[in-house]
Amino acid sequence: MDIKVDLLQRVKAILLEPDTEWGIIEREPGGVRDLFMNYVAFLAAIPAIAGFIGTSIIGVSVPNLGMLRMPAFAGLLNAFACYVLSFAIVYVIALAANLLAPRFGGQKSFSNALKLAVYSHTPVWVSGVFLLIPGLRFLTILGLYGFYLLWKGLPPLMKTPQERALGFAAALVGCALVVTIVVTMMMSALFPLPRAV
């Protein structure tokens, strides 16, 4: 079957039927290369490309300043860095999930931890399409659905007892927030605010 069809079916299934899909995912092999090349490589491109178009081509409307645009070269560098960092963030969250699993009554399995981190990021990447349009950027908040997916995925993938899954999910989200804040600070230092047009 075509990889694009498989990808779209997986995205649809994980977003609309997570309980069923996590059970299917748990039985699949989950190597770094396969997950990164066949899933992350495509979905992580959505916010990177949409963000570039939205900030460097369309621009961002700022009250009292008008429409601001990031210079094209800086925008491309920013998009590339965001794309690469998506891989790193997913990997770090997988490491944290694997490390913390026994503390929450689960079982260590890096393969399952990576599948959990990758597939629970789906709404974050898909909602990145809203970075294209300045007035709809706030809809990237829909990516928070990933927390729900993470919570639902912990029992089947990490064998976490249901009553401890919420705490485990909160701990992983805390790890993700710390990593995201550090990455955002680095990105802000490397790529300053856009210029007025």
Worst-scoring range by mean pLDDT, 74-83, 171-180, 184-193? Answer: 184-193
Q: Which residues pair with 67 in a beta bridge?
A: 61
- Torsions phi, psi of 181, nearest 5? -65, -45
The reported pLDDT for the residue numbered 157 is 96
191: pLDDT confidence band, cut at 50, 70 and 90? low
Q: Is residue 195 helix, strand or coil? A: strand
Compute the distance between CA of residue 112 and CA of residue 42 in angstroms, rounded to an integer.
Answer: 20
Burial class for 182, CB neighbours closer than 10 Å (0-12, 13-18, 19+) = exposed
The reported pLDDT for the residue numbered 75 is 85
Q: Which residues pair with 69 in a beta bridge?
A: 195
Query: Hey, how many other C-beta atoms are within 10 angstroms of the C-beta on 55?
Result: 25
Indicate the pTM of the whole model.
Answer: 0.87
- Torsions phi, psi of 61, nearest 5? -80, 125
Q: What is the pLDDT of residues 121-162, one digit of tens each?
A: 999 999 999 998 878 888 989 999 999 999 999 999 999 999
The structural domains of the chain, with segments of one domain joined by +, span 3-196
Q: What is the pLDDT of residues 83-111, one digit of tens each?
A: 998 999 999 999 999 999 999 999 999 99
The reported pLDDT for the residue numbered 41 is 96
